[in-house]
Amino acid sequence: MSGLQLSHDKLIEVYRTMRMIRRFEERVMDEMATGDVPGNTHLYAGQEASAVGVCLHLNDDDYISSTHRGHGHSIAKGVEIDGMMAELFGRATGTCGGKGGSQHIADLRKGMLGANGIVAAGAPITCGAALSAKLQGTNQVAVAFAGDGAMNEGVMSESFNLAKIWNLPIIFAIEDNGFGEATANAHVRPAASRVVPRAMTFQPSRSMVRMCLRFMPRLARLWSALARVVVQRCYTSTCRATMATTAVIQTTIAHRKRKRRCVRNKIAWSTSASASRKCRCWILPNSMLLIRRSKPKLTMPSLPRVLHRSRGCRP
Amino acid sequence: MAKKSFRQALNEALHLEMARDPRVIMMGEDLTGGAGAKGVKDAWGGAFGVTKGLLDAFGPERIRDTPISEAAFVGAAAGAALTGMRPIAEIMFVDFAGVCLDQIMNQAAKFRFMFGGRAKTPLVIRATYGAGSRSGSQHTQALYPIFTHIPGLKVVIPSNPYDAKGLLLQAIRDDDPVIFLEHKMLYDTVGEVPDGSYTIPFGEARVVRDGKDVMIVAIGRMVGVAEEAARQLASEGISACIVDPRTTSPLDEDTLLEVAEKIGRVVIVDEANPRCSVATDISALLADKCFDALKAPIKLVTAPHAPVPYAPNLEDAYIPTPEAVSKAVKSIVRR
């Protein structure tokens, strides 16, 4: 896994955050079952790697926006976990004083612009945050998380366009779990219409890329990191809470820590459960930087092939 | 004081506030006009000329012509407001809010509350409203009841150039999302407007004219209609007091109740459709809180519950007229 330039400690930290998300969601599911958490929540278990893989490259003052399935993004961005759980219970000590709930957890101190009950609504808001960073001349970048279901909302395309014409320091991270609500993606789009080609329409000119690389070095660095960590390697098994994660980041840890029993146990846990559905994470940058790869290779290789590759690499 | 048009007053407010605060930016369709075309720059200054000259003064980074993507740029304005800017988004006609209502209603309006009071959203959405321009049903609505209904939004409807400038300056300095509605038939009306900055606080109604026989509550362009009616009524010996709420959210309940209690007869003039409107809302307020002081039923003069028609004679019949107001007044004053 030569592309994954992360230190051993960093990998452990990444894995710990992923486990934290999983544990958080398991607890929420238990509390839901007993009726202690009011209302409805959407669990992020199974998609941990994409949130953590993206957010590990971000600073506290960088912005993200999340979706209705947002606990993982919040935790990965560093939102305090006690506050999040208190929020789910509707307590005054919650992240939003109990007024928001699961779908509206936000913490501006951590650059978390909010989970969102409306599909795709975070995309233009994140464009605004990126515009704010650009106009104020800060070095911040913004990441808009969305699901593949959001790709069917018109505002998503509007936001891609705005991001491109305004040259904003923003990346769109589209988590593809194959479903929009409970309807399979294949059922609501033509067979030939895939996420990435649709977004590729917004690819910029070479001069824009040069300008971007010159004026937004942080976005360029971020994108190159993301391109390696997430686009090529981030696989999770499913969006459902009961399934297990088989993220490649974990595999890497297993590879490096082969002789350490404790970590092996964790990996054994994570790979033993069956993976019924893949969750792919597409990263759609504010485009320009797509071009840095001479032949953008954005279709996902199959999971076994990635695993095979990781076996062949040296830490 | 110099005489200025409604349009000039707004333009001046924008110039003053953008010069004062570098965080103020503007985005909208054709704010300058001609962007991207050869040899033309700032051709329009907005569809109604309100933003003319801002491009030269503040440059394209702060005055942004957008694609026809209301949801994207209103959302971006909300996001920029959340992260330290003070954006003004212009929706050319308030009717177009239909395609970006989510960003107004579910996003901007909710941030402060939903995030536990820890977020500010200093966003202004300017839009034109109102009938009279022969533009058909999709460019003429008076949609302020929709926005007034949504908690978290402030809704401002100036009726004259002086108020327009003071209220717009206040809107830009306010930390909550403000819907600022400009009646397109008022742009050329003229009034005395000071040169410098001044603000008019939200939730303070203006008593346009004092009187003792009837209280007429009027909003936006209807204030002028009420004034005309009051002149007619004065010649017939009826003295009408006119109250302009200026903002429908927050609403100056105190002034409305105080005047209604004093006079006891109320007519409310509203250009919006009558169901669930600001007129019915104020009427319910007065009936609830000062019923005993009322000497006659509250009368509403509104547009019919129908879309705005195109044909000039139909549109003229649609908009409340001074004659209709006078008739309503007489029906309760001479009982």
Per-residue pLDDT band at A180 (split at 50, 70, 90):
confident
Q: How far is A137 from chain B (nearest CA, A)?
A: 12
Give A 32-71 residues with CB within 8 A of chain B.
63, 65
Q: pLDDT at position A313, please?
A: 31
Boundaries of domain holding A183: 8-311
Per-residue pLDDT band at B111 (split at 50, 70, 90):
very high
Per-residue pLDDT band at B1 (split at 50, 70, 90):
confident
For chains A and B, count residue pairs whose Cβ atoms are closer than 8 Å: 128
Q: How far is A75 from chain B (nearest CA, A)?
A: 16
Nearest residue in A to B64, CA atom:
A166
Q: Which of A22-26, A260-264, B97-101, B167-171 has the least mean pLDDT?
A: A260-264
Q: Is B305 assigned a catalytic role?
A: no
Question: Does residue B199 lie in a domain region?
Answer: no
Q: Is B214 helix (H, G, I), strand (E, B) or coil?
A: strand
Per-residue pLDDT band at A51 (split at 50, 70, 90):
confident
Q: Are residue B185 and residue B243 in the same domain, yes or no?
A: no
Question: Does residue A2 lie in a domain region?
Answer: no
Q: Are residue B11 and residue B76 in the same domain, yes or no?
A: yes
Q: Do B69 and A162 touch (CB under 8 A)?
A: yes
The structure tokens listed for B29 are 């369709």
Question: Does residue B200 lie in a domain region?
Answer: no
Check: CB of residue B115 under 8 Å from CB of residue A100: yes
Question: Does residue A47 lie in a domain region?
Answer: yes
**At residue A200, does pLDDT exceed 60?**
no
Q: How far is B172 from chain A (nearest CA, A)?
A: 17
Q: Which of A127-141, B32-46, B224-238, B249-263 has the least mean pLDDT?
A: B32-46
Question: Does residue A41 lie in a domain region?
Answer: yes
CATH classification at residue B212: 3.40.50.920
Q: Do B72 and A126 touch (CB under 8 A)?
A: no
Domain's final residue, options B128, B159, B192: B192
Q: Are residue B181 and residue B250 in the same domain, yes or no?
A: no
Q: Which of B115, B121, B124 to mutate to test the interface with A (most CBs of A within 10 A)?
A: B115
Q: pLDDT at position A224, please?
A: 54
**At residue B64, does pLDDT exceed 60?**
yes
Question: Does residue A1 lie in a domain region?
Answer: no
Domain count, chain B: 2
Q: Are residue B54 and residue B158 in the same domain, yes or no?
A: yes
Average pLDDT over residues A40-55: 84
Question: Does residue A3 lie in a domain region?
Answer: no
Q: Which of A132-146, B68-82, B125-139, B174-188 has the least mean pLDDT?
A: A132-146
Give the one of B82, B83, B116 whose C-beta lies nearest to A97's C-beta. B116
**At residue B249, does pLDDT exceed 90?**
yes
Check: CB of residue A69 under 8 Å from CB of residue A43: yes
Nearest residue in A to B72, CA atom:
A124
Of residues A290 and A173, more confidence is placed in: A173
Check: CB of residue A241 under 8 Å from CB of residue A26: yes
Q: pLDDT at position A219, please?
A: 63
**At residue B131, does pLDDT exceed 90?**
yes
Question: Does residue A121 lie in a domain region?
Answer: yes
| Residue B87 at interface with chain A, using a CB cutoff of 8 Å | yes
Q: Do B78 and A124 touch (CB under 8 A)?
A: yes
| Residue B35 at interface with chain A, using a CB cutoff of 8 Å | no
Q: pLDDT at position A239, please?
A: 30
The structure tokens listed for B91 are 């929706």
Model pLDDT for residues A109-150, shown as the tens digit of each residue? 999 999 999 999 999 999 999 999 999 999 888 999 988 788
Q: Are residue B51 and residue B184 in the same domain, yes or no?
A: yes
- State the Cα–Cα distance between residues B10 and B90, nearest whole angstrom: 13
Check: CB of residue A1 under 8 Å from CB of residue A309: yes
Q: What predicted TM-score, i.e. pTM, was given to this entire model?
A: 0.85
A116 contact residues in B (CB cutoff 8 A):
107
| Residue A98 at interface with chain B, using a CB cutoff of 8 Å | yes
CATH classification at residue A271: 3.40.50.970
Q: Do A155 and B74 touch (CB under 8 A)?
A: no
Model pLDDT for residues A70-111, shown as the tens digit of each residue? 999 999 999 999 999 999 999 999 999 999 999 999 999 999
Q: Are residue B133 and residue B226 in the same domain, yes or no?
A: no
Q: How far apart are the first and last CA of chain A?
A: 7
Question: Does residue B286 lie in a domain region?
Answer: yes
- Kindly give the residue spans of alpha helices, DSSP state H, lying in B21-86: 54-62, 70-82
Question: Does residue B235 lie in a domain region?
Answer: yes
Q: pLDDT at position A281, please?
A: 53
Q: Do B119 and A106 touch (CB under 8 A)?
A: yes
Q: Are residue B138 and residue B72 in the same domain, yes or no?
A: yes
Q: How far is A223 from chain B (nearest CA, A)?
A: 22
Domain's final residue, options B134, B164, B192: B192
**At residue A6, does pLDDT exceed 90?**
no
- State the Cα–Cα distance between residues B183 and B200, nearest whole angstrom: 19
Which of A64, A93, A75, A60 lies closest to A27 in space, CA to CA? A75
Average pLDDT over residues B210-227: 98
Q: Is A126 helix (H, G, I), strand (E, B) or coil?
A: helix
Question: Does residue B201 lie in a domain region?
Answer: no
CATH classification at residue B145: 3.40.50.970
The ipTM estimated for the assembled molecules is 0.94
Nearest residue in B to A96, CA atom:
B116
Which of A268, A296, A276 lies closest to A178 in space, CA to CA? A276
Q: Do B79 and A113 touch (CB under 8 A)?
A: yes
Give the one of B61, B79, B110 whose C-beta lies nearest to A128's C-beta. B79
Domain's final residue, options B192, B225, B246: B192
Q: pLDDT at position A201, please?
A: 57
Domain count, chain A: 1
| Residue B296 at interface with chain A, using a CB cutoff of 8 Å | no
Q: pLDDT at position A56, please?
A: 85
Q: pLDDT at position A261, please?
A: 38
Average pLDDT over residues A190-219: 57
Per-residue pLDDT band at A49 (split at 50, 70, 90):
confident
Average pLDDT over residues A276-296: 38
Model pLDDT for residues B12-24, shown as the tens digit of each residue? 999 999 999 999 9
Average pLDDT over residues B96-124: 97
Of residues A71 and A262, more confidence is placed in: A71
Question: Does residue B197 lie in a domain region?
Answer: no
Model pLDDT for residues B252-291, shown as the tens digit of each residue? 999 999 999 999 999 999 999 999 999 999 999 999 999 9
Q: pLDDT at position A169, please?
A: 86
| Residue A136 at interface with chain B, using a CB cutoff of 8 Å | yes
- The most confident of the ranges A239-248, A261-270, B204-213 is B204-213
pLDDT more than 90, % of chain A:
30
Average pLDDT over residues A205-234: 51
Q: Are residue B155 and residue B87 in the same domain, yes or no?
A: yes
Boundaries of domain holding B13: 3-192
Check: CB of residue B128 under 8 Å from CB of residue B92: yes
Q: pLDDT at position A231, please?
A: 35
Q: Are residue B16 and residue B139 in the same domain, yes or no?
A: yes
Model pLDDT for residues B157-170, shown as the tens digit of each residue? 999 999 999 999 99
Question: Does residue B87 lie in a domain region?
Answer: yes
Q: pLDDT at position B318, please?
A: 98
CB atoms within 10 A of CB A265: 10
Average pLDDT, chain B: 96
